[in-house]
Amino acid sequence: MNVYSKFETELAVRPDDIDLYQHVHSTRYLDYVLAARFEQMERYYGMSMQDFARLGLGWFMTTANIAYKRPLGWGDRMTVRCWIEHFTTMGCRVAFEIEKLPTGKRVCDGFCDYMLVNLTTGRGVTLPEDIKAKYSI
């Protein structure tokens, strides 16, 4: 079994993330994962989402799974940890966990499945070996 690197990004809850019940709305957690992933792609893998777009490629999410443990509130800070769990012929599964700072208590965890697509046609493409190698650290 392959073991891939885990990377961390620190983020803060924004006022517009708060819902009617005075905690972060459930949909915002995916926004946090996406923001962290974009930063991690550029910083750690050396291939940003813009680099994919220049190649005419993009990542479409096909599955999102989140297990909520406790809420985040206004002013909270968090660590978003992401890693590739495994590759498929046309994409990968990115696992994640979000922890509240400074306690380190788990807020949620889960995974997202992504498919690499041709941006012109919107159709899935086979994951090139050079991209897989770059993301296999």
Q: Is CATH 3.10.129.10 the right assignment for the domain spanning 6-134? A: yes
Q: CA-CA distances (angstroms) from residue 42 to 25, 46, 52, 64, 134?
A: 27, 5, 11, 22, 11
pLDDT at 2 over 90: no
pLDDT at 1 over 70: no
pTM of the model: 0.93
pLDDT at 68 over 90: yes
Query: What percent of the chain has pLDDT above 90?
Result: 98
Reply yes or no: is the peptide bond before residue 15 cis, omega within 30 of 0.
Answer: no
Query: Residue 102 is encoded by which pair of tokens?
Result: 């400074």
66 close to 29: Cβ distance less than 8 angstroms: yes
Q: What is the pLDDT of residue 53?
A: 96
Q: How many CA atoms lie within 13 A of 76 on its CB side?
A: 24
Q: What is the pLDDT of residue 50?
A: 95
Lowest mean pLDDT, pick from 2-11, 30-39, 60-69, 103-112 = 2-11
